[in-house]
């Protein structure tokens, strides 16, 4: 059986369909931003080498490149987080020195980072004014709220200024980040992988906001790994490769295939081959499981399904419909309030993470920073974090550093993790390479059941293709996989069956070759499978 | 011109060596100014300090005497700090270790063969220290009680309990009212190796090596590293956080307890006032300056001990005010502590000339 996802753009561009118009680049003589010959070195790495960026008012620039190509570094230089070793930056034709985020803000440059930087326990309004240079000792919150409402109306950014950050979804938090920048009068917005954590609907809204801002003459630079977004969002594309600028293209003169080729240096097929293979015994079985969320409200209700060895079950759904809790109860990080979980025919309901790991379960967590890596430990130790308990890495309680290093070298090679040395601290890797480190560790150590939450988040096209192939290969070798994803293309291409979650309930499970976006979309909106076919 | 203070984005190897060195010189300069105010010649004073700590064999052994409890408590603090468990209770753990050892020596001796008393005192003292550190650890993992408060409060409990004992029930009836227990029988004394320096020094050196190995080369040490670094990742990988905090703190307390045992059986040979001169608190500085590395802890403890001994000497020799020794020690330590910040942060000076261009 060959499932072809050759037409991913037809499939995935649907959220953006309304926005696929192109504007002619306006004739303005001086660029609002001109970065010339930027070079930034880190110990053992040249992250940027002689990179130029040019941006005119009203334009959106997409920055593309493989994991570790230097995109985040380049933008961090512009936003005042890092200082370039060489090169010049001109804003509206004037040479500037940007030494701190505050300098950048003064110049109208605002950045939304790969990981959000909001204070969880404070309100939206407080977060927005936090760190403003000319803040009075007691800010007038009525004025602030008024201004926030006005701005959110103008850009169609709905948020309640008085709600607290922890109460907001990821998409809403991002709106707060954008509002924060607009409030400070940012003219150049930098968005580092803004859509990686967004649902397609939220990504579409983001595009609308960007369009509104560029109409007012603001400009934006955004980093993404999703080609369809490059086409839908941007006017220009710049491609980085190993720190160097390799291509500058006008978006309407290129296409996703060409961009992928420019990035990776070869054709990316966007198609996955799956061999027919026999399924084994039941690996995971949930019977009428329910669980609460952190606030004690029901998050999962009456969930029942089973996965056989060699089967990939995809879990689709709009974020916040119970995916997080589902993954947590399966990995021992959350207790169920009812029902039974059986893994390889043994009762694993409310067992500890260690007991579950010991029964052969691997876990790719959704939050790679909070759960995935220990940033101040070496890449090698991070790669050993799952197998360090057993020989050959440990003997009678004593670690075997040489073997850990061997293991690390092998995985770094296999998963092409871009790290200066195996001893480099994980926090110095690029976002995508941190993700690859986790994937390498979990996939390699997997002994029968893999719980994967958004495994391709933050990966470049080449790495995404590789990870999907790895998962398929694992399933062919007899591993059972639960794949939680927001990417319908990924689910249809990789999974054998797809379950759709809505408000903590399974709306139905259908074979992926019978799944189409329309049907999945309806189920994600709360329509039961039987009703869609009716 | 403008000066900004920013977090280093990358680890600087140079900074790790240069910063302590630079802060040491700043310490010297500040201290020199202070000395000049008191009309003492700074150079003479420094030389006297150095001589006081290292100048002669007896002086050097005195430095070793002070370094030993600093090393042991420093190692204990370090184990806890690696887990981000802010144990400031080494003082209390040391005291309780001393009390427990004294109890064994004073009350069990008649029932035991003489050779057994000291080893048993060491064992019981370490257990007592472990127990004293175990209480806040248990409160933390079970009830999430903040360990800074509990470890600190337990210090007072232990110190006051010791006072109660040597002023009250355990006081030497033949001691002319001196606050202290009777002297221990000589077969229970911890053997001395040079001057007053005792076997505790050897314990400290060996334990530092063992601890380095345990932290860096064993499964347990690996788990501690992960927990200290990212508890969320540790939990996800099935590492039992509560259990590890408990074991680490029992170990931390045992090390501090051993320091107390060595003080009572090796130095004072009785439980008496002044069992600890704040070793448990200074240990925090030691562990911190050593950047939580056991081997470095040994070296830092030695230097701080030299400061303590040298400071005392100077005060006596130069006829400075009595509190001057302490002031000198503080002056020297302060920039070193502040300096440790600069391995993680740096100052950057920004020239104004370029700034003009952008303010237009
Ligand atoms: N603070 C740092 N210290 C040392 N090296 C770093 C640091 N930040 C980034 N690097 C290195 O610089 C290179 C570029 O990293 P960068 O984060 O810019 O990549 P990226 O293009 O954003 O990748 P991704 O798509 O994975 O996010 C990588 O090799 C990374 O290891
Ligand atoms: Mg990045």
* pLDDT tens figures, A252-299: 999 888 888 888 777 776 667 787 888 889 999 999 999 998 888 899
pLDDT reading at A139 higher than 60: yes
pLDDT at A3: 41
Closest to A398 (Cβ–Cβ): which among B6, B217, B226? B217
* A10 and A96 in a common domain: yes
Closest to A399 (Cβ–Cβ): which among B219, B230, B232? B219
Judged by CB atoms closer than 8 Å, whether chains meet at B358 and A358 is answered as no
pLDDT at B350: 55
Give the Cα separation of B23 and A475 in Å (integer).
Answer: 58
User: Distances from the Cα of A366 to the Cαs of A454, B210, B272, in angstroms?
Assistant: 6, 38, 58
* A100 and A4 in a common domain: yes
pLDDT at B35: 82
* Residue A329 is assigned to a structural domain of this protein: yes
- For ligand 2, the distance from its centroid to the CA atom of residue B255, given in whole angstroms, is 45
pLDDT reading at A226 higher than 80: yes
Neighbouring residues of the ion ligand 2, judged by CB less than 5 Å = A 72, 430-431
Strand bridging mode B345-350 / B192-194? unpaired
* Residue A382 is assigned to a structural domain of this protein: yes
pLDDT band at B120 (very low <50, low <70, confident <90, very high): very high
Give the Cα separation of A486 and A200 in Å (integer).
Answer: 8
Shortest Cα–Cα distance, A130 to chain B (Å): 18
* A101 and A246 in a common domain: yes
Q: Encoding tokens for residue A287? A: 């019977």
Structure-model confidence comparison of residues B337 and A161, the more confident one: A161
Count: domains in chain B: 1
Q: Is the CB of A429 under 6 A from ligand 1?
A: yes
CATH code of residue A325: 3.40.50.300
DSSP A337: S
pLDDT band at A145 (very low <50, low <70, confident <90, very high): confident
Q: Encoding tokens for residue A355? A: 């007991």
pLDDT at A1: 39
User: Cis peptide before A392, with omega less than 30 degrees from 0?
Assistant: yes
pLDDT (average), residues A367-385: 92
pTM score, whole prediction: 0.87
Q: Write out the residue range of the structural domain in which residue B77 sits.
A: 67-300
* SS3 per residue for A69-114: CCHHHHHHHHCCCCCCCEEEEEECCEEECCCCHHHHHHCCEEEECC
pLDDT band at B13 (very low <50, low <70, confident <90, very high): low
Cβ(A325)–Cβ(B196) under 8 Å? no
**Which of A445, A471, A497 lies at the terminal end of a domain, its last residue?**
A445
Q: Encoding tokens for residue A351? A: 């067992």
Question: How high is the ipTM of this complex?
Answer: 0.85
Stretch (H or E) spanning A205: helix A200-215
* Residue A50 is assigned to a structural domain of this protein: yes
Shortest Cα–Cα distance, B210 to chain A (Å): 13
Give the distance between the most distant pair of CA atoms in chain B. 89
Among B305, B270, B279, CA closest to B92 = B279
* A2 and A68 in a common domain: yes
pLDDT at A196: 77
Give the Cα separation of A428 and A422 in Å (integer).
Answer: 12
Judged by CB atoms closer than 8 Å, whether chains meet at B229 and A42 is answered as no
Q: Write out the residue range of the structural domain in which residue A413 sits.
A: 365-445
* Residue A293 is assigned to a structural domain of this protein: yes
pLDDT reading at B206 higher than 90: yes
pLDDT band at B5 (very low <50, low <70, confident <90, very high): low
* SS3 per residue for A101-156: HHHHHHCCEEEECCCCCCCCCCEHHHHHHCCCCCCCCCCCHHHHHHHHHHHHHHCC
* Residue B145 is assigned to a structural domain of this protein: yes
pLDDT (average), residues B182-196: 93
Q: Encoding tokens for residue A373? A: 């890596």
CA A327 to chain centre: 17
Give the number of other CB atoms < 10 A from CB of residue B177: 7
Cβ(A270)–Cβ(A465) under 8 Å? yes
Interface-testing mutation among B84, B234, B238, with chain A (most A C-beta atoms within 10 A): B238
Mutational test site, ligand 1, from A51, A65, A73, max ligand atoms within 8 Å of CB: A73
* A289 and A338 in a common domain: yes
Q: Is the CB of A73 under 6 A from ligand 1?
A: yes
pLDDT reading at B64 higher than 60: yes
Average model confidence (pLDDT) for chain B?
87
- For ligand 1, the distance from its centroid to the CA atom of residue A249, given in whole angstroms, is 24
**Which of A269, A301, A331 lies at the terminal end of a domain, its last residue?**
A269
* A299 and A244 in a common domain: no
Residue with tokens 């609907």: A201
**Which of A236, A269, A302 lies at the terminal end of a domain, its last residue?**
A269
pLDDT reading at B221 higher than 70: yes
pLDDT at A15: 40
pLDDT (average), residues B314-327: 75
Residue with tokens 């080498």: A49
pLDDT reading at B358 higher than 60: no
Q: What is the pLDDT of residues A158-217, one digit of tens each?
A: 788 888 887 777 778 888 888 888 888 889 999 998 877 777 777 888 888 888 888 888
Mean pLDDT is lowest, of A51-65, A142-156, A180-194, for A142-156
Cβ(A374)–Cβ(B230) under 8 Å? yes
Give the Cα separation of A50 and A40 in Å (integer).
Answer: 9
pLDDT at B143: 94
Give B-chain residues touching A348 at CB under 8 angstroms: none
Q: Where are the alpha helices (DSSP H) in B51-168?
A: 57-82, 90-108, 114-143, 147-167
* Residue A86 is assigned to a structural domain of this protein: yes
pLDDT band at B256 (very low <50, low <70, confident <90, very high): very high
* A386 and A340 in a common domain: no
At residue A234's C-alpha, the angle toward residues A229 and A236, to 5°, is 130
Mean pLDDT is lowest, of A444-448, B89-93, B97-101, B324-328, for B324-328
What is A158-201 written as a DSSP string? ---TTSBGGGS-HHHHHHHHHHHHHHTT-SEEEEESTTTTS-HH
* Residue ID of nearest Cα to ligand 1 atom 14: A70
Q: What is the pLDDT of residues B66-105, one digit of tens each?
A: 999 999 999 999 999 999 999 999 999 999 999 999 999 9
pLDDT band at B8 (very low <50, low <70, confident <90, very high): low
* A264 and A317 in a common domain: no
Q: Is the CB of A448 under 6 A from ligand 1?
A: no
Provide the 3-class DSSP secondary structure of residue A360.
Answer: coil
pLDDT (average), residues B279-300: 91
* A341 and A484 in a common domain: yes
pLDDT band at B212 (very low <50, low <70, confident <90, very high): very high
Among B158, B196, B173, CA closest to B275 = B158
3-state helix, strand and coil shares in percent for chain A, rounded to the nearest 5: 35, 25, 40
Count: domains in chain A: 3
pLDDT (average), residues B22-49: 83
- For ligand 1, the distance from its centroid to the CA atom of residue A70, given in whole angstroms, is 6
pLDDT at A527: 85
* Residue A137 is assigned to a structural domain of this protein: no
Structure-model confidence comparison of residues A423 and A278, the more confident one: A423
pLDDT reading at B338 higher than 80: no
pLDDT above 70 coverage of chain A, percent: 92
Closest to B222 (Cβ–Cβ): which among A95, A399, A425? A399
pLDDT reading at B266 higher than 80: yes
Structure-model confidence comparison of residues A141 and B248, the more confident one: B248
- For ligand 1, the distance from its centroid to the CA atom of residue A471, given in whole angstroms, is 26
Average model confidence (pLDDT) for chain A?
86
Give the Cα separation of B57 and B194 in Å (integer).
Answer: 9
* A97 and A16 in a common domain: yes
Give B-chain residues touching A372 at CB under 8 angstroms: 233, 236
Give B-chain residues touching A329 at CB under 8 angstroms: none
pLDDT reading at A18 higher than 60: no
Structure-model confidence comparison of residues A9 and B269, the more confident one: B269
Shortest Cα–Cα distance, B33 to chain A (Å): 35
pLDDT band at A533 (very low <50, low <70, confident <90, very high): low
Partners of residue A48 on adjacent β-strands: A40
Q: Encoding tokens for residue B97? A: 């270790």
Judged by CB atoms closer than 8 Å, whether chains meet at B218 and A401 is answered as no
pLDDT reading at A441 higher than 70: yes
* A79 and A15 in a common domain: yes
Give the number of other CB atoms < 10 A from CB of residue A106: 17
pLDDT (average), residues A124-150: 79
pLDDT at A5: 38
Stretch (H or E) spanning A246: strand A244-250
pLDDT (average), residues A485-499: 91
Q: Which residues contact A177 (CB under 8 A, 6 or more apart)?
A: A112, A116, A117, A118
* Residue B49 is assigned to a structural domain of this protein: no
pLDDT at B44: 86
Give the Cα separation of B229 and B292 in Å (integer).
Answer: 13
* Residue B132 is assigned to a structural domain of this protein: yes
Q: Is the CB of A229 under 6 A from ligand 1?
A: no
DSSP A46: E
Stretch (H or E) spanning A10: helix A8-12
Shortest Cα–Cα distance, B256 to chain A (Å): 25
pLDDT (average), residues B26-40: 83
Give the Cα separation of B273 and B159 in Å (integer).
Answer: 10
């Amino acid at each position: 059986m060959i499932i072809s996802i050759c037409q991913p753009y037809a499939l995935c561009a649907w959220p953006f369909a309304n926005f696929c118009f192109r504007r002619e680049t306006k004739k303005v003589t001086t660029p609002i931003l001109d970065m010339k010959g930027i070079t930034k070195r880190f110990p053992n790495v040249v992250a940027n080498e002689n990179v130029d960026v040019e941006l005119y008012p009203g334009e959106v620039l997409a920055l593309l490149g493989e994991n570790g190509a230097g995109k985040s570094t380049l933008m961090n230089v512009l936003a005042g987080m890092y200082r370039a070793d060489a090169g010049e930056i001109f804003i509206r034709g004037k040479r500037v020195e940007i030494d701190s985020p505050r300098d950048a803000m003064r110049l109208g440059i605002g950045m939304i980072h790969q990981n959000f930087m909001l204070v969880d326990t404070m309100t939206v309004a407080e977060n927005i004014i936090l760190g403003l240079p000319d803040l009075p000792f007691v800010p007038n919150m009525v004025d602030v709220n008024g201004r926030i409402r006005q701005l959110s109306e103008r850009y169609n950014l709905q948020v309640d200024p008085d709600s607290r950050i922890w109460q907001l979804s990821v998409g809403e938090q991002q709106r707060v980040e954008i509002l924060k920048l607009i409030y400070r009068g940012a003219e150049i917005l930098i968005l580092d992988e803004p859509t990686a954590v967004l649902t397609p609907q939220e990504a579409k809204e983001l595009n609308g906001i960007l369009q509104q801002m560029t109409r007012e003459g603001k400009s934006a630079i955004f980093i993404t790994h999703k080609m369809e977004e490059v086409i839908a969002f941007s006017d220009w594309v710049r491609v980085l490769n190993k720190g160097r600028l390799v291509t500058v293209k006008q978006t309407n003169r290129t296409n996703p295939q060409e961009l992928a080729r420019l990035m990776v240096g070869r054709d990316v097929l966007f198609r996955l081959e799956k061999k027919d293979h026999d399924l084994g015994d039941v690996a995971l079985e949930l019977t009428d499981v329910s669980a609460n969320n952190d606030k004690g409200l029901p998050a999962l209700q009456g969930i029942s399904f089973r996965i056989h060895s060699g089967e990939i079950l995809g879990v689709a759904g709009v974020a916040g419909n119970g995916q997080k809790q589902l993954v947590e109860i399966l990995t021992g990080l959350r207790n169920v309030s009812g029902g039974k979980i059986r893994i390889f025919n043994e009762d694993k309901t409310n067992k500890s993470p260690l007991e579950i790991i010991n029964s052969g379960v691997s876990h790719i967590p959704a939050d790679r920073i909070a759960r995935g890596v220990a940033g101040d430990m070496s890449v090698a130790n991070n790669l050993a974090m799952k197998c360090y308990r057993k020989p050959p890495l440990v003997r009678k309680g004593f670690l075997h550093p040489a073997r850990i290093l061997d293991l690390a070298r092998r995985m770094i090679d296999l998963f092409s993790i871009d790290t200066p040395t195996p001893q480099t601290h994980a926090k110095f890797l690029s976002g995508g390479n941190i993700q690859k480190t986790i994937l390498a560790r979990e996939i390699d150590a997997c002994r029968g059941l893999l719980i994967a939450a958004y495994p391709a988040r933050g990966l470049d096209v080449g790495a995404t293709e590789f990870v999907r192939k790895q998962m398929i290969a694992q399933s062919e070798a007899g591993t059972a996989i639960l794949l939680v994803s927001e990417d319908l293309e990924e689910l249809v291409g990789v999974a054998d069956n797809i379950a759709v979650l809505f408000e903590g309930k399974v709306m139905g499970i259908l074979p992926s070759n019978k799944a189409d976006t329309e049907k999945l979309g309806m189920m994600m909106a709360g329509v039961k499978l039987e009703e869609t076919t009716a | 011109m403008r000066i900004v203070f920013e977090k280093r984005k990358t680890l600087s190897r140079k900074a790790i060596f240069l910063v302590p060195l630079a802060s040491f010189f700043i310490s010297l300069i500040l201290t020199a100014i202070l000395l000049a105010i008191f009309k003492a010649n700074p150079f003479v004073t420094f030389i006297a300090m150095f001589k006081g700590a290292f100048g002669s064999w007896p002086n050097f052994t005195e430095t070793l005497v002070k370094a030993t409890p600093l090393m042991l408590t420093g190692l204990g603090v370090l184990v806890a700090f690696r887990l981000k468990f802010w144990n400031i209770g080494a003082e209390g753990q040391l005291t309780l270790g001393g009390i427990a050892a004294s109890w064994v020596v004073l009350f069990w001796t008649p029932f035991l063969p003489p050779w057994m008393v000291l080893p048993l005192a060491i064992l019981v003292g370490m257990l007592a220290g472990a127990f004293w550190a175990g209480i806040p650890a248990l409160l933390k993992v079970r009830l999430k009680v903040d360990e800074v408060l509990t470890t600190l409060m337990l210090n007072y409990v232990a110190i006051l309990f010791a006072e109660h004992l040597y002023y009250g029930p355990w006081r030497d009836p033949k001691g002319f009212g001196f606050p202290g227990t009777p002297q221990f029988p000589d077969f229970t004394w911890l053997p001395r190796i040079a001057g007053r320096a005792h076997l505790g020094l050897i314990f400290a050196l060996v334990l530092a090596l063992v601890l380095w190995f345990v932290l860096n080369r064993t499964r347990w040490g690996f788990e501690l590293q992960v927990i200290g670094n990212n508890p969320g990742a540790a939990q996800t990988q099935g590492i039992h956080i509560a259990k590890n905090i408990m074991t680490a703190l029992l170990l931390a307390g045992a090390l501090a307890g051993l320091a107390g045992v060595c003080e009572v059986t090796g130095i004072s040979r009785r439980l008496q006032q002044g069992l600890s001169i704040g070793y448990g608190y200074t240990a925090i500085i030691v562990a911190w300056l050593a950047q939580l590395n056991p081997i470095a802890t040994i070296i830092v403890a030695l230097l701080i001990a030299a400061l303590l001994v040298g400071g005392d000497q100077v005060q006596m020799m130069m006829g400075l005010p009595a509190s001057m020794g302490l002031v000198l020690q503080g002056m020297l330590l302060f920039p070193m502590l502040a300096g440790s910040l600069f391995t993680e942060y740096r100052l950057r000076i920004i020239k104004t000339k370029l700034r003009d261009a952008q303010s237009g």
